[in-house]
Structure 1
């Protein structure tokens, strides 16, 4: 039941993130990037990149099964101010906590950066899958990050 609620919440957040009115920026917390929360402005779904432009997308990690009562916003690979930030072109990845993570942590931590994602994946606590979960955000989309106000 909890997993279903988290999937629905994640789906709602990312549907809002990806399909927000292009004319209406959202300065409320929408995702984590480089340890900070960011707002966003949904713009458009993008076609899959080619070998020539894959590097112009950043990974966006959507955690589908966090049990942290604070909730878990998506986590970006990079954010404004980071030289690796690509301006808000995203390649969605699904991240799932493993049974080992729940045994180790009990309540899993809130992930706030790409470094957090890498650390927990290296510990065997996260399984990362390229692409989106059913009814999740588009696999490739554009959505620039905005400061939270």
Structure 2
């Protein structure tokens, strides 16, 4: 009997968590969400919360930053993408080597230009959490 109650409790918590996550992705961004990130060719609002100490690679998404420019960071996945990890980011710096600094809106374009030598991508610079909110 207790195991059945535990299963129902876990189910109810899971349903509430999914509803909350769906609401976060579709809600009006909070006032502190003044930052911007591109992911999956869409512009999102965001704010940084805290650094994290890592975790399994599959629990983080890469986010590409462009030091020395005013370009908007680009994440490899955003809300609605099954690969999105709720804003847990593995930060990589992009340096332009064979082209002028260009605003990308998806990680595919960044990886393509890296493959032809137009830019380089650093290893992990840091890891942090910053959720994405629909604009």
TM-score over 0.5 for the pair: yes
Contact preservation (8 Å) 2:74, 2:104: yes
Q: Deviations over 1:10-33 (max 9, x none)?
A: xxxxxxxxxxxxx8541x451111
1:144 to 108, 123, 131: 131
2:105 to 109, 112, 117: 112
Q: Does 1:43 align with 2:36?
A: no
Q: Deviations over 1:94-116 (max 9, x none)?
A: 11100x22xxxxx4431110111
After superposing on structure 2, the runs of 4+ consecutive aligned residues of structure 1 that deviate more than 6 Å are none
Contact preservation (8 Å) 1:64, 1:94: yes
Matching residue of 1:6? none
Q: Deviations over 1:28-75 (max 9, x none)?
A: 4511111111101322111132xxx22100001001255xxxx41000
Tell me how large the CA RMSD over aligned residues is: 1.8
2:108 match: secondary structure: helix
CA distance in 2, matches of 1:24, 1:47: 27
Matching residue of 2:119? 126
Contact preservation (8 Å) 1:60, 1:91: yes
Structure 2 spans left out of the alignment, 5+ residues? 1-29
Structure 1 spans left out of the alignment, 5+ residues? 1-22, 102-106, 133-138
CA distance in 1, matches of 2:102, 2:51: 30
Cα offset, 1:83, TM superposition:
1.1
